[in-house]
Chain A
């Protein structure tokens, strides 16, 4: 939350004053109209966020050795945080086989997914967009076809790829026709990571392509013609004209995709269930909830901070100008429209 608000408000909107009568009382009306939205967000997002922080400073229930019964844990100080960050299980270092010991593995693998997936999605998405940015028959069909992966629920996608990647499944069968040995797609450390990346890329590249396409279509055709006449090579046209024009929508799309992958849950939970070291941070939180609420809250707060920090970096230094949407933006250069990355994954938070 803090990350998004820290985006510099755009001062560009000089209020185009219309007739005074129409603007009177706008402030109050505006606040009234956004109030229900803020109420929903307050109850379901803001209040739980603070509640989680409060919970994270209490101890999980422990066992009274005399009676064999559970007793409440009391104040934990920051021990739930040191548990994850410093790998402390009580007095000792968390031994392998505890969830605590998995924190850094989960962190690295989540970052790995993020970097690799988003990188591939940008490259492929760019290519897809350039293909679609031409005149051809059956445009609707192609668009519908690439929307299919986007529309399928992630839970179903995961089951589908689980079946495709089964040891006796079609993926290994296809590989064997080109002489590659069957892979253990759900438990081999590398194959499992790529199984998730492949499924994720399959599902979200089309969306990336459409966002980029929207940007491309605002580039007037004569710009390219002019470039061609001036003798620019294809590569030059791409880097000097196309890229700068789609930069803003692209950065915004990359930001939202990055945040999506950082909180990835459905796909690894169903596809590999953590096999081959693919337990993501979100999965670790869910696993922890059943064995200790309070330390799960600490972990989820850490995940939140990580995501907020990433968003902050993007907005501050990456040029992902998300808060440039306010109305009357029509007068500004239209190519900067970032599209609708919020819809990236129609499964929203935690997908």
Chain B
């Protein structure tokens, strides 16, 4: 009895659901009917919407004003999403699935591009829609390329640097071995030698990738096939595991995310720290910082020269369902223009994607780390560009985390990484 009641109720509810869905489809079809394939609308112009995660530094408003004053008939409306990466991702997915034409240009995290492209949601930036990328830092372009096609315009970048104590180390280490050699200085001063972010999370993936790349490994090849099961990758992990065991890397480093490692460095407990540019300002201004004026940055050390950082940052892409793609493309060009990139750095400390800006004298004066950051990004390697990124990062995190603690040999770890990536289909 009760069950039959449920059934009928459920059916009613489902009928309601179908009705709602139909209405939604009808509305969606209304404006999307003629222009929802990837190639259409390439020449069309009109007002567009730019969707981006929460703007932390008040850059969006002035940017939109500037564009609008020169494009009175193709004004841009800015839509801010939440501050949470997962929510931004899901919000985009929701609108793409609904083939929503009101999301023309969307800001995407470096690691989402491939997924969205593979779902057919992004407009390929080729032929009529091609975006010139001369003068861009090469790794940022590579990270926006899926299946040999450019799908997004890099708008901001990020790279890791080595923070070191100038009062204890005269010249920063150029190679990894040089750095380990300096660990005796740390010991004499009763502090720990080196740390990055070795917790099991996205930052762990960045760090592990850097170490494997530094030793010459490639996580995936140019076609996106996993190639991480190599002696080079194992050597990278082995270096980490050995020095974790020896204590050069403090044991708490496997709990470190960015903040915990910054706190350790600021408290004067660390000689060398691998971290992003944001630490520079905080370590110089934080009231409790014990290293004010006693630190500087250098490129990450490598095996025989500068190492390779993992690439961070954001890109802007054009929705496949946008009706005004010509305007959208112009907008991408505007976002990546040197002028706009410079403003982003000045006002929001967003690392530019254009090489020339890193040598701007006024900027370098304000942000002394810029030359080092440029070198870091120029040598950076993007994380694997794959539609299965969640699985790939999981594979790297889990296995690197086991390897650094010695629960698994480096060779076994890279072998498992490879098979886990393969199992994901990537």
Contacts and interface: CB of A to CB of B under 8 A. Distances in A.
Direct contact of A and B (CB under 8 A): yes
A70 B387 contact: yes
Contact of B398 (A38, A62, A97, A184): A97
A187 B423 contact: no
A39 B199 CA distance: 45
A93 to B, nearest CB: 9
B118 A95 contact: no
Given A47-B13, A63-B118, A291-B390, A97 B420 contact: yes
Interface string B3-19: 00110011001100000
A68 B423 CA distance: 17
A187 B398 contact: no
A226 interface: no
A92 B416 contact: no
Nearest to A102: B398
Interface string A278-315: 00000000010011000000000000000000000000
Interface residues of B, number: 46
A323 interface: no
Classify chain A: how many residues form its interface, as a range: 35 or more
A62 B423 CA distance: 12
A273 B401 CA distance: 14
Contacts of A68: 117-118, 146-147, 387
Interface string A222-251: 000000000000000000000000000000
B231 interface: no
Given A42-B13, A62-B425, A95 B6 contact: no
Contacts of A62: 425
Contacts of B252: 167, 182, 184
Given A98-B424, A273-B201, A92 B419 contact: yes
Contacts of A90: 423
A210 B146 CA distance: 59
Contact of B425 (A63, A102, A185): A63
Contacts of A101: 420
Interface in B354-401: 387-388, 390-391, 394-399
Contact of B387 (A63, A168, A187, A290): A63
Interface in B1-58: 2, 5-6, 9-10, 13-14
Contacts of A275: 199-200, 255
Given A68-B146, A70-B387, A182-B252, A187 B199 contact: yes
Contacts, number: 107
Q: Could you say which of B86, B388, B425 has the most chain A C-beta atoms within 10 Å of its C-beta?
A: B425
Given A96-B398, A275-B255, A38 B120 contact: no
Nearest to A34: B2
B255 A38 contact: no
Contact of A98 (B2, B86, B423): B423
A3 interface: no
B119 A97 contact: no
B402 interface: yes
B326 interface: no
B255 A184 contact: yes
Given A89-B423, A95-B423, A184-B251, A38 B9 contact: yes
B13 A43 contact: yes
Interface in A82-134: 89-90, 92, 94-102
A166 interface: yes
A31 to B, nearest CB: 8
Contacts of A47: 10, 13-14
A24 interface: no
A70 B122 CA distance: 13
B255 A98 contact: no
A47 B5 CA distance: 13
B375 to A, nearest CB: 32
Given A89-B423, A94-B423, A291-B391, A38 B2 contact: yes
A236 B156 CA distance: 72
A46 interface: yes
A182 B253 CA distance: 13
Interface in B404-426: 408, 416-417, 419-426
A274 B420 CA distance: 18
A82 to B, nearest CB: 14
A328 to B, nearest CB: 22
A42 B2 CA distance: 11
B73 interface: no
A35 B6 CA distance: 9
B260 interface: yes
Contacts of B251: 184
Contact of B260 (A94, A99, A167): A167
Nearest to B259: A166
A164 to B, nearest CB: 14
Interface in A152-182: 166-168, 182
Contacts of B201: 273
Interface in B226-282: 251-252, 254-255, 260, 263, 267
A102 B394 CA distance: 11
Interface string B187-202: 0000000000001110
A245 to B, nearest CB: 35
B399 A97 contact: yes
B200 A42 contact: no
Nearest to A192: B255
Given A63-B387, A70-B119, A291-B390, A97 B416 contact: yes
Contacts of A35: 5
A287 B397 CA distance: 14
A279 to B, nearest CB: 10
Contacts of A96: 398-399, 402, 408, 416, 420
A102 B146 CA distance: 30
A99 B387 contact: no
B425 A42 contact: no
Contacts of A168: 263, 267
A58 interface: no
7 contacts: A38-B9, A42-B13, A95-B395, A97-B398, A97-B419, A98-B394, A98-B395
Give the 5 A-B residue pairs with the shortest CB-CB distance, closest first: A97-B420, A95-B419, A97-B395, A89-B423, A68-B147
Given A95-B420, A102-B398, A167-B252, 12 more contacts: A46-B6, A47-B14, A89-B423, A90-B423, A95-B419, A97-B398, A97-B419, A97-B420, A98-B394, A98-B423, A98-B424, A184-B252
